[in-house]
Amino acid sequence: MKILVTGANGYIGRHVVSELLNMGHNVIACDLHLDNVDERVEKIEANLFEATENIYEIMNNPEICIHLAWRDGFVHNSLNHIGDLSAHFKFLTSMINGGLKHLVVMGTMHEVGYHEGAIDENTPCNPLSMYGIAKDTLRRAMLQYCKEKSCILQWCRAYYILGDDKNNHSIFTKLLEAKEAGKNKFPFTTGKAKYDFICVDELAHQIACVAVQKEINGIINCCSGKPISIAERVEQFISEHKLNIKLEYGVYPERVYDSPCLYGDTKKINTILKKHKFILDE
């Protein structure tokens, strides 16, 4: 299939592009710059926020669009999340109006806000950060628009991502930076909160598997489904990378919008992954 990936040069996008290529699909990579993207792709350097009415043709008429482009994804209260919202909506609706019939969009557990336990597609959303508010608003708008236009929508809701850690701007990046700076102590929260961690390579595989099927749609959790305390996962990371760093617990408070324990329900994604494996085996 011919698949467009926006935000293809980003942290997640580069891995999704390679995963789709390895599956044998034709991939169109779009971003402002494409320096770090797999050379096997067709490259389109463009600013999607300047999308015109014929953007679908400019993007070479893809069968599927995986929309990963997003500014300041690791800065949860950046004002750009709300400021860019109408541009995302204009791009996606212009693609659909041009002829796109299958849309995949990157979502986030931050759409949900404070919640304890498993999250599924019916979990009420009350986002508590600008990032979560913007993603939640785009999701609601696109669910309605895609329904009106008979366009498949798969909203891939991601959780806590690690891997390729020099590029993800997370606590794992900061730990590597602390090592480079020669620090042996790292100020930390209590570390008690439990999150659903997933490696970026596995996330990319899940997103690709979601996109190349049409039977399971709507909100789909892309996750492990296994909550682990952030203290346990960070200590594991320190051990795996042989970092001579000791965590200073309790220096920072927990973020007000983080829940004590949340994780994704994996029913949908497990069904998709099992089907994909069966197809590959066949």
- We report the CATH number of the domain holding residue 90 as 3.40.50.720
Please report, as a single letter, which amino acid is at residue 51. A
**Does any domain span residue 96?**
yes
Q: Would residue 136 be called left, alpha or beta, if left means φ above 0 and alpha means ψ between -120 and 50 degrees? A: alpha
**Does any domain span residue 244?**
no
Give the per-residue pLDDT at 232: 96
**Does any domain span residue 172?**
no
**Does any domain span residue 110?**
yes
**Does any domain span residue 174?**
no
How many domains are there within the chain? 1
Is 11 catalytic? The answer is: no
Task: Count the residues in the chain.
Answer: 282
Give the per-residue pLDDT at 165: 77
**Does any domain span residue 168?**
no
pTM of the model: 0.93
In terms of Cα–Cα distance, which of 134, 138, 114 is closest to 126?
A: 114
Is-contact 199 235, C-beta < 8 A? no
Q: Which of 11, 56, 131, 160 is catalytic?
A: 131
Beta strands in the chain (DSSP E): 2-6, 26-31, 42-45, 64-67, 102-108, 117-119, 152-158, 160-162, 185-187, 194-199, 218-222, 227-229, 246-248, 262-264
Low-confidence spans in the chain with pLDDT less than 50: none
Q: Which domain holds residue 45?
A: 2-161+197-223+264-281
**Does any domain span residue 240?**
no
Q: pLDDT (tens digit, 9 = 90+) per residue, 230-252?
A: 999 999 999 999 999 999 999 98
